[in-house]
Structure 1
Amino acid sequence: MSPHHRRQLTPLALAAVAALALSACSSAGTNHQQSDTLVYATGDAEPSCLDPHVGGNYPQALISTQYLEPLVGRDSSGKIQPWLATEWQASDDGLTWDFTLQDGVTFTDGTPLDAAAVKANIEHLQDPNTQSSTGYLAVQKIAEIETIDDTHVRFHLSAPDSALLESLSQQWTAIQSPAGIARGMEQNCQAPIGTGPFIVESWTPQQQVDLVRNDDYRTPGPEADHEGPAHIERIEWRFIPDAATRNAALAAGEVQVIDNPLPADIVAAEQSGSGIEHIDAPRPGAVNRIELNSGQAPFDDVRVREAFIRVADPNPGISSLFKGVASRSYSPLASVEPTAVADKSLFGTDPAAAAKLLDEAGWEMGSDGVREKNGAKLTVRFPVSTNQSTAAEQSLFEQIQANAAAVGFDVVIEPVDLSSWYGALAAHEYEAVSAPYTKVGPDVLRILYHSDGTIPAPSGYFANNAQLKDPELDAILDQASATLDEAERTKLYADAQQRILESFTVLPLYDQQNHFLVKGVEGVTTLGTVATPTFVNARLG
């Protein structure tokens, strides 16, 4: 548990805190709740950089959707759609891709969107000094970028990449002004320059980012319902970490959209008839899951991994804590991925079988209820990012901790901030971890479970938290990445998922929860790519 003891506030005190926060919200920024201003309150961690090329986490995707756009989009059925690129063509061997860009488009600083700009963006992602992770991994196979003319760019790949279009649809590879990039990381992190419907005007750390409408907007993506600029003039993007405070602000009309609402608040909103709309937009890529570090003891023994899986029993907690807004998953892939494969049979709860597996593995029960082997305790360090795991999820982890203790596991949950969490992973100071990873398409399996994923990206982040090193799985994932035949690709990813599940390194829980509550505004929708909200269609009520 956390080493910091927190004083529990009474309901009256909590209400006072919320009231003060609302007062601060109503006076924050320069716009003072103008009628043409939409206010968005996020509970995700405040980005340290507004450029999603740098690092590459979901909070960056959330906000950058408003000012940066990708080469291609994706609709709700999973079909890739034109966006900044109008056409594309792959060679028969999959090693050359030609893209045609929209003609006459400029970034909001007047720099042209042309082949040279696309080249600068890919090189920016691939430059180790950019410290990219998600974007870096997405464009790893692009070996050379050839500018044919202003509106035609050609990618030469080091190996076929069936996920290239999916990767290029993400916010972490969105295209931004090369002149903006050339200012240097510090300045570009403050206000990246794109082609999107809004422009970064200012950023007040620990408070808000102010966005102003791009009146010259002319590149509407697949979700836009009209040509031309957005209807609203401004967005105040506020950072309000406390879920209860965000919900109170929504109810009071201080904000129009909140993310990461509590499950109970979602249910209450749906049942209240108060005019609050619930948008459920599961993130693509991997599910929320617990991964077991097979690269070190005790989970280098498959029997110990299976024992943990057999005793974890997350279903009752998911049912009670999430109030029906989350459904148990038995797949490594999100339900929104058409290629997801589930195998419920591998995840039946059986504490007796778990105890037997631990006996067979040589772990003997100690007098304190914790098993031991060769003088070592059966300890499972489980760092939890409080920026990424909701209160309900942290409570679920505590239930799993108690269930595992019944057969002799000592699960040590360590709540930490995001930077400390990354540090624990980088130092391999964990045996279990829940690490959300959002990526469009099933190629996320290669990122997360190929042995290459044990090698850190330039940011220092490595994706293979399970530390899986399975040559047969690598071969399947490599083949899936190389084939452009959709049926064959789907079959290969099904085989890969089965092998991953049978390794007992992954305990799937549920889709990455991505909920929004909306009040006093119409036309809010989410991208078919990384499920982030877009306000290009929004109209204030």
Structure 2
Amino acid sequence: MKKNNQSLSRSVLVLTTAIVVLAGCASGTSQSGATEVEPEDTTKGGDLTYALASIPSNLDPARSGWAVESRVYKQIFEGLVTKLPDNTIVPELATDWDISDDGKTYTFTLREDVTFHDGTPLNAEAVQYSFDRILDPETQAGNAFSRLQPYESSEIIDEYTIELHLSTPSVPFIDNLTQANLSIVSPSAAEENGDQFGQNPVGTGPFEFVSLQENSNIKLKRYEDYDWGSDKYENKGPAYLDTLTFNIITEESTRIGSLQSSQVLAAEAIPPQNIEAFESDPSLNLLSQNIEGLPYTLFINPDHEPWGELEARQALQYGIDVDHIVETLYFGTYDRAWSAITPGLLGYDESLEESIEPDVEKAKELLEDIGWEEGSDGIRTRDGERLTLQYVDITPNREKRNDIAVMIQQQLKEIGIEVDIELTKDVATTIHTNGAYDLYGNSQVNGDPNALIQFYHSPAEGARDTLSKVNDPEVDQWLQDAVTEQDEDKRAELYKNVQQYIHNEAIILPIYVPNYTVGTQESVHDITFDYLGYPQFNDAYVQP
């Protein structure tokens, strides 16, 4: 058996993220690496209002699919283990764990002093319930279901000991357990609230749920009995903040104005055009950090003509000037993406950088080679059909993604492609149910390249298509082998194979590496961030 006592260190990947503290630093400068000078005679506490740029709709970890929801429910829930910025996996609700020699059984010993916010105890039964609930089709789990794989069942050994049984060995499994989707929920509350658990979440985290006003705010308060903080916090006991309120302010100018006027004390998604003003304002502090996982990526739908043809997809590669888009919209605050994963992950293929340069004439030639001739209005036709691309994006305009659509519309017109832009709030129906798109963008926060399997592995029989719609046995084999490969160098090569295939077959258009920026009033101290860039508030306080 492989034994872990209080920590399990892995160097599976190299992350550029680090815990950054927003406190006590020279105003108007990046806080990375800063050292806080603790105010004297200060009573830590206060009420923090934090503006979100998009709308959380479900605070149930098992059913949630959006990063903005994770930012909220990570304060309410905890997992068996967590991960530090140096990639060390350490206990959270577990105290230690064993991994069987065949890699298929994980035995966790749980803390015995933890209670859920509803007063019920954390025990092995709660862990079993949480994971089995994710597998239950009635839960309709999304990302959580993918990340829990290949979990099959569990066995309760005693009140505080549980065995998790996997169908196959999985190197990334322990890493996946650090992610918020696999948090442990209160069985009593989940059973009582059923489908409404996401509007009445109950966990073991430092903050407990108070209320949710749709499209307005989410209120949390300090969980007074909290006394089991993990090593990701300096403060292991109850949070300093009395309350934590997430205000939903999707309109950029309103959100920034609310922060500058102190209507909120912190706000996420500071737009690039406001960065310089923030840096020069002595009353504000600013944090900027790249987010690891899958970059913002445009997926091309090969099921729709002519995008099933390689030349048509390559024409998009050459016809879209991604550098111009990123530089124009983000003023150097976002990095251009080149591959299906971000640079910080294990196996990132640097050889793909600078591998494609925009070439309008090359794009035109590729389309002409497959019979698309330029029409009198400049739009190409073949067999009487106009070359039209259906570009679907979500509203509101998160990270200027709607603006990307407009710029691509203009660029593709130059090579004879007409682009229709559809903005929708109902992505599930438009994209996943109806598949009514030619181009659609998505990103994912993740600490391991195994995230690729959710997007590029052939779907199981009866499962919905992936966004990429890749269905290739060789790609499947690379991804499957990487799950069980213990040698990091070999595992990295397998992921490079996948990235090369995606690039060569023009499956996607990588656009940018997401960057999380947060502005705060100078009265806000010690907001920290986890290894994926999610905010943490157990150390935070407001100093009037």
Q: Which residue of 2 aligns with 1:205?
A: 214
Give the C-alpha shift of residue 495 in structure 1.
Answer: 1.7
Q: Which residue of 1 aligns with 2:121?
A: 112
Helix, strand or coil for the counterpart of 1:94?
Answer: coil
1:315-351 CA-partner distances (Å, limit 9, x unpaired):
1121121011101111211233243223024321111
Q: Which residue of 2 aligns with 1:142?
A: 151
Distance 1:222 1:369, change over 3 A: farther
Whether 1:472 and 2:480 are equivalent positions in the alignment is no
Q: 2:452 corresponds to which letter in structure 1?
A: L
Distance 1:453 1:323, change over 3 A: farther
Match of 2:385 among 376, 392, 397: 376
Q: Is the 8 A contact 1:267 1:323 kept in 2?
A: no
Q: Which residue of 2 aligns with 1:292?
A: 300
Whether 1:447 and 2:454 are equivalent positions in the alignment is yes
Distance 2:157 2:490 in 1: 32
Distance 2:271 2:462 in 1: 36
Q: Which residue of 2 aligns with 1:268?
A: 277
Whether 1:45 and 2:52 are equivalent positions in the alignment is no
Whether 1:523 and 2:520 are equivalent positions in the alignment is no
Distance 1:35 1:255, change over 3 A: farther
Whether 1:403 and 2:406 are equivalent positions in the alignment is no
Q: Which residue of 2 aligns with 1:364?
A: 373
Q: Is the 8 A contact 1:339 1:442 kept in 2?
A: yes
List aligned pairs for 1:114-513, cutoff 5 A. Answer: 114-270=123-279, 272-342=280-350, 343-387=352-396, 389-390=398-399, 392-417=400-425, 419-420=426-427, 422-452=429-459, 456=463, 464-513=466-515
Q: Is the 8 A contact 1:295 1:466 kept in 2?
A: no
Distance 1:109 1:286, change over 3 A: same
Q: 2:95 corresponds to which letter in structure 1?
A: T
Q: 1:222 corresponds to which letter in structure 2?
A: D
Distance 1:185 1:435 in 2: 29
Q: 2:55 corresponds to which letter in structure 1?
A: A
Distance 2:151 2:428 in 1: 31
More strand by percentage: 2
1:139-167 CA-partner distances (Å, limit 9, x unpaired):
13111111112222111111222221222
* Matched pairs, number: 498
Q: Which residue of 2 aligns with 1:96?
A: 105
Give the C-alpha shift of residue 420 in structure 1.
Answer: 4.6
Q: 2:438 corresponds to which letter in structure 1?
A: E
Q: 1:437 corresponds to which letter in structure 2?
A: Q
Distance 1:163 1:184 in 2: 32
Distance 1:440 1:300 in 2: 31
Give the C-alpha shift of residue 535 in structure 1.
Answer: 0.6
Distance 1:362 1:453, change over 3 A: farther
How well do the aligned residues superpose, as a CA RMSD in angstroms?
Answer: 2.0
Unaligned runs of 5+ in 1: 1-33
Q: 1:423 corresponds to which letter in structure 2?
A: T
Q: 1:150 corresponds to which letter in structure 2?
A: E
Distance 2:461 2:468 in 1: 9
1:188-236 CA-partner distances (Å, limit 9, x unpaired):
2222111111100122222212111011112213320122111111112
Helix, strand or coil for the counterpart of 1:436?
Answer: strand
Distance 1:358 1:318, change over 3 A: same
Distance 1:243 1:214 in 2: 32
Q: Which residue of 2 aligns with 1:36?
A: 46
Helix, strand or coil for the counterpart of 2:410?
Answer: helix
Q: Which residue of 2 aligns with 1:72?
A: 81
Q: Is the 8 A contact 1:290 1:508 kept in 2?
A: yes
Give the C-alpha shift of residue 303 in structure 1.
Answer: 0.8
Helix, strand or coil for the counterpart of 2:449?
Answer: coil
Distance 1:303 1:77, change over 3 A: farther
Q: Is the 8 A contact 2:347 2:491 kept in 1?
A: no
User: Normalising by structure 1, what TM-score?
Assistant: 0.88
Helix, strand or coil for the counterpart of 2:391?
Answer: strand
1:69-120 CA-partner distances (Å, limit 9, x unpaired):
1221122233322211232232232221222222221112222211111100
Distance 2:298 2:230 in 1: 35
User: Normalising by structure 2, what TM-score?
Assistant: 0.87
Give the C-alpha shift of residue 387 in structure 1.
Answer: 3.5
Q: Is the 8 A contact 2:132 2:153 kept in 1?
A: no
Give the C-alpha shift of residue 426 in structure 1.
Answer: 2.2
Distance 2:360 2:384 in 1: 24
